């Protein structure tokens, strides 16, 4: 049995129901308001500025990285920086090529088309996208069977911004058609402090420096989580104290919400515990591990693992998942001889299997 309670999602990097509105309020609107990601920011700035000077739409942009790191926010910033309209859709919504054709033919020159979760786009729509991205053209097939003809249709020059949590599942031809790929990395604690500070100002929350630092440290490198923990800590401060968030208040609040010192939540701990206790530390396949904690493999893979890898507690090897020495230590168990020392794998390991 697992100790994970599916309702407990305080630390999930995925958006929760009802969170959309506050997320919109907290979204940075301009590149220089966007905290962190210095590399992606600088690279994008160059791509956008050069396109602006040449008076053409910039190359297509792919943003990849784990949930909650700001891909959607960045896509909107791209449009805002270009003073362009943004049309938003997602891979799963583009089931039929006709859906995509309709979107594409409605674009005005210079528009930004944002396709979220682009790795989930259906094959026929993907193939239509190739031509659209390359030649600003789509071939619309009219009729069926031997009498079917394909009519080429011009579309306005546009910029595609794609977002994906799994750039590894993108096909080669699609990936190759993006002129620029921004790999979003987990945020440092000091960057997350700035994220929390900025959100506190917008939401009018009275919080001191230490309070921000405490939230940042437990946010798993993820702004979405920092913003959520800030709101939970605010609730606690208002109900149990005088509303002001200090380190002491933040610590007490986070304890109530079951957020541990390293920012691991119950699902992370359940994954590590299963790995260590039921599978002797691995190696074990991700599907088997997912079954053991009662979760979908993709949740374990895309939500838990990137952070566990980054925290140096889990290693992804060709033979399966392996618990590192740090994992045994974190669970308070003796480290077996031969356990791997965790390297700071970082998000580059994100797409490996
Ligand atoms: N760099 C940042 N500075 C300030 N806030 C940020 C930053 N990045 C993300 N956020 C906040 O985190 C929340 C989630 O960001 P966003 O929706 O852009 O992430 P995402 O990468 O698109 O996530 P998903 O993969 O789930 O779609 C937003 O509410 C936004 O306010
Ligand atoms: Mg998003």
Task: Please tell me if the CB atom of residue 167 comes closer than 6 angstroms to any atom of ligand 1.
Answer: no
- Integer Cα distance of 296 and 117 in angstroms: 17
Contact criterion met (CB below 8 Å) for 169 and 162: no
Can you tell me the distance from the alpha carbon of 205 to that of 165, in angstroms, rounded to the nearest whole number?
A: 31
pLDDT at 14: 82
pLDDT recorded at residue 261 = 83
Predicted confidence (pLDDT) at residue 3 exceeds the cutoff of 60: no
Q: In this structure, are residues 212 and 251 in contact, taking their beta carbons and an 8 Å threshold?
A: no
Q: What is the pLDDT of residue 342?
A: 56
Q: Is the pLDDT of residue 352 over 60?
A: no
Q: Which own/partner pairs from 49-53 qualify as long-range (CB within 8 Å, at least 24 positions apart)?
A: 51/82, 52/82
Q: What is the pLDDT of residue 22?
A: 86
Yes or no: say if 264 and 330 are a contact pair by the CB < 8 Å rule: yes
- Mean pLDDT across the stretch 277-289? 93
Active site residue 165: yes
pLDDT value at 175 more than 60: yes
Max Cα separation, the chain? 76
Whether ligand 1 lies within 6 angstroms of the CB of 227 is answered as: yes
State yes or no: is 348 an active-site residue. Answer: no
Tens of pLDDT, residue by residue over 180-220, are: 999 999 999 999 999 999 999 999 999 999 999 999 999 99
* Pocket flag, ligand 1, residue 12 (CB < 6 Å): no
Binding residues for DNA: 316, 321
Q: What integer pLDDT is reported at residue 345 of this predicted model?
A: 42
| CA 22 to each of CA 6, 37, 178, 227, 241: distance values in angstroms, whole numbers, following the listed order | 23, 22, 31, 9, 24
Using one digit for the tens of pLDDT, what is the confidence trace for 61-102? Answer: 999 998 999 999 999 999 999 999 999 999 999 988 889 999
Ligand 1 atom closest to the CA of 24, numbered from 1: 29
Q: Is the dihedral of CA 16, 292, 316, 192 positive or negative?
A: positive
pLDDT at 92: 95
pLDDT reported for residue 349? 37
Residue 252 CA, ligand 2 centroid: distance in Å: 31
Please tell me the distance between residue 224's alpha carbon and the centre of ligand 1 in angstroms: 6
Average pLDDT over residues 20-47: 92
Query: Across residues 267-296, what is the average pLDDT?
Result: 93
Domains of the chain by start residue, with CATH: 38-183 (3.40.50.300), 189-256 (1.10.8.60), 266-351 (1.10.10.10)
pLDDT at position 311 is 87
pLDDT tops 90 at residue 167: no
Helix (H) or strand (E) holding 70: none
Active site residue 96: no
CA distances from 93 to 4, 117, 118, 306, 336 (A): 31, 10, 10, 26, 48
Alpha carbon nearest to ligand 1 atom 25, residue? 67
pLDDT at 56 over 70: yes
Residues around ion ligand 2, judged by CB within 5 A, are 71-72
The tens digit of pLDDT for each residue in 102-160 reads 999 999 999 999 999 999 999 999 999 999 999 999 988 888 888 888 888 999 999 99
pLDDT tens-digit series, residues 236-254: 999 999 999 999 999 999 9
Q: Is the pLDDT of residue 279 over 50?
A: yes
Q: How many C-beta atoms lie closer than 10 Å to residue 208's C-beta?
A: 15
* Structure confidence by residue, pLDDT tens digits, 303-345: 889 889 988 999 999 999 999 999 999 999 999 888 887 554 4
pLDDT at 168: 87
Q: What is the pTM for the complete model shown?
A: 0.85
Q: Judge whether 71 counts as a catalytic residue.
A: yes
Q: Is 23 in the pocket of ligand 1 (CB under 6 A)?
A: yes
ipTM of this model? Answer: 0.98
- The alpha carbon of 135 and the centre of ligand 1 are apart by a number of angstroms equal to 32
73 CB less than 6 Å from ligand 1? yes
- What pLDDT was estimated at residue 239? 95
Cis peptide before 147 (omega within 30 of 0): no
């Amino acid at each position: 049995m697992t100790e994970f309670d599916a309702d407990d999602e305080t630390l999930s990097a995925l958006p929760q129901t009802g969170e959309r509105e506050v997320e919109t309020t907290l979204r940075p609107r301009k590149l220089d308001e966007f905290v962190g990601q210095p590399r992606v920011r600088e690279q994008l700035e160059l791509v956008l500025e050069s396109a602006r000077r040449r008076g053409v739409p910039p190359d297509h942009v792919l943003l990849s990285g784990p949930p909650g790191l700001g891909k959607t926010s960045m896509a909107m910033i791209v449009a805002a920086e270009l003073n362009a309209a943004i049309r938003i859709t997602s891979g799963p919504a583009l089931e039929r090529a006709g859906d995509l054709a309709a979107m594409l033919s409605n674009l005005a020159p210079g528009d930004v088309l944002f396709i979220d979760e682009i790795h989930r786009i259906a094959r026929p729509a993907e193939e239509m996208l190739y031509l659209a991205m390359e030649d600003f053209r789509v071939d619309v097939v009219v009729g069926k069977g031997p009498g079917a003809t394909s009519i080429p249709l011009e579309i306005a020059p546009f910029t595609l911004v794609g977002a994906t949590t799994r750039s590894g599942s993108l096909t080669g031809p699609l990936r190759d058609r993006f002129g620029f790929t921004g790999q979003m990395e987990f945020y440092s604690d000091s960057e997350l402090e700035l994220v929390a500070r900025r959100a506190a100002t917008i939401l009018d929350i009275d919080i001191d420096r230490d309070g921000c630092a405490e939230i940042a440290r437990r946010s798993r490198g993820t702004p979405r989580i920092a913003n959520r923990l800030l709101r939970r800590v605010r609730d606690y401060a208002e109900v149990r104290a005088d509303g002001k968030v200090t380190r002491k208040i933040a610590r007490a609040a986070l304890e109530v919400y079951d957020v541990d010192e390293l920012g691991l939540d119950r699902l992370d701990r359940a994954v590590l515990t299963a790995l260590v206790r039921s599978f002797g530390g691995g190696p074990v396949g991700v599907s088997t591990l997912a079954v053991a904690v009662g979760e979908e493999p993709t949740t374990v893979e895309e939500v838990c693992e990137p952070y566990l890898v980054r925290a140096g507690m889990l290693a992804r090897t060709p033979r399966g998942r392996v618990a590192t020495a740090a994992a045994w230590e974190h669970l308070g168990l003796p480290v077996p001889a031969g356990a791997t020392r965790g390297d700071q794998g970082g998000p580059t390991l994100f797409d490996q299997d």
